[in-house]
Amino acid sequence: MQNPTHSPTCILVTGGAGFIGTNLVRHLLLSDAKCRVVNLDLMTYAGSHAGLDEFLAEKWQSRYRFVQGDIADAGLVGKLFDDEHFDTVVHLAAESHVDRSITGPAAFITTNINGTFVLLEAARAAWDGKTGVRFHHVSTDEVYGSLGETGFFTEMTPYDPSSPYSASKAASDHLVRAWHRTFNLPVTISNCSNNYGPYQHKEKLIPHMIDNALNGLPLPVYGDGKNVRDWLYVEDHCQAVDRILRYGQNGQSYNIGGCNEWKNIDIVTLICELLQEYRPMQTGHYRDLINFVTDRPGHDRRYAIDASKLKDQLDWQPQQSFESGLRKTVEWYLAH
């Protein structure tokens, strides 16, 4: 294994009270006793302290700080850089729900584009002339658009976003690359496939289906249910981001994927089977709740990630298959 290219000690995690952010903050604090983490989150509907309450306790106060605020607030962000002397930024904060981006795109422009600009400018000002710093931008495979029946997204795939959400993330990716090329800001970027696991908001497919099923509500499946996504257990994603932070090459992008292509209808069916195993319905089967609904506009047909660059160069690979990760996820939601 190559030598580290960066050694984080004080990390700003934006959006650290969201789904992936909560899991990443937990991972960073529990895996590296030398790291201090500052979590900046606006606490919109998708933010929660549920997974982070323990770190607000007195024993963690020297290593964890939560700040409620907007990444688009330049005054707040600049003051945090001045006060905390960050050497690392992991930028996760984003509006991320495709359906919401269709009905209300303005918030996606404000947060995903303008917020990223504010963070880049704050980092550029604070890190002028400094070494040992890194800005890592977490993005999505949705920036690449839709695949046909075969093929995979690579780091060289042209961008072709379909929704206001993916367009706003594509724009933020381009800003990060531009600040690296124009201002020599040390950056890395990751584009990840669909995440699932503990603490995910129930508007997303897997927790939404679990919640509806347990409450005896219809399980709405878009179109014919054959849209394909590559799925990644969230802890595997956190491990990958950590590898990129410490071993990634400046200016490089890395695709993160689980090598788990699944049709939506097959995911919903598997959830039904697991729930029937753990908490069987008194009459009938959870499959009886499946309800096909009108497809959403611009619904990409297939995503699939080629993560070989990350595996070959940084020695990362996912630890969970989709079946094992989904079982762990169902168990977690039943327990919580």
Checking if the pLDDT of 292 tops 90, the result is: yes
From CA 280, how far away is CA 8, in angstroms rounded?
Answer: 47
Of the listed 87, 142, 230, 261, which one is catalytic? 142
Of the listed 41, 141, 300, 306, which one is catalytic? 141
- Interacting residues of 290 by C-beta distance below 8 A, sequence separation 6+: 218, 219, 221, 265, 268, 269, 272
pLDDT score for 1: 58
- Interacting residues of 316 by C-beta distance below 8 A, sequence separation 6+: 239, 240, 243, 307, 310
Checking if the pLDDT of 295 tops 90, the result is: no
Per-residue pLDDT tens for 61-107?
A: 999 999 999 999 999 999 999 999 999 999 999 998 788 899 999 99
Helix axes 322-335, 205-214, angle to 10 degrees: 50
Checking if the pLDDT of 321 tops 80, the result is: yes
Is residue 324 within a helix (H) or strand (E), and if so which, with residue range?
helix 322-335
Higher pLDDT, 239 or 2: 239
Higher pLDDT, 56 or 75: 75
Percent of the chain with pLDDT over 90: 82
Q: Are 278 and 80 in contact (CB under 8 A)?
A: no
Of the listed 41, 70, 95, 165, which one is catalytic? 165
Per-residue pLDDT tens for 147-179?
A: 888 889 999 999 999 999 999 999 999 999 999
Residue-range domains of the chain with CATH: 10-199+231-259+304-319 (3.40.50.720)
Helix axes 19-31, 234-247, angle to 10 degrees: 60
Checking if the pLDDT of 3 tops 80, the result is: yes
| Residue 165 among the catalytic residues | yes
249 pLDDT band, cuts 50/70/90, is very high
Q: Of the candidates 57, 50, 60, which has an alpha carbon nearest to the alpha carbon of residue 29? A: 60
Helices (H) and strands (E) in the chain, counts: 11, 12
Per-residue pLDDT tens for 98-148?
A: 888 999 999 999 999 999 999 999 999 999 999 999 999 999 999 999 888
Per-residue pLDDT tens for 251-282?
A: 999 999 988 889 999 999 999 999 999 999 99
pLDDT score for 201: 87
Averaged pLDDT score across all residues of the chain = 94
From CA 208, how far away is CA 206, in angstroms rounded?
Answer: 5
| Residue 99 among the catalytic residues | no
Percent of the chain with pLDDT over 70: 100
pLDDT score for 6: 97
| Residue 159 among the catalytic residues | no
Question: Residue 68 is encoded by which pair of tokens?
Answer: 């409620």
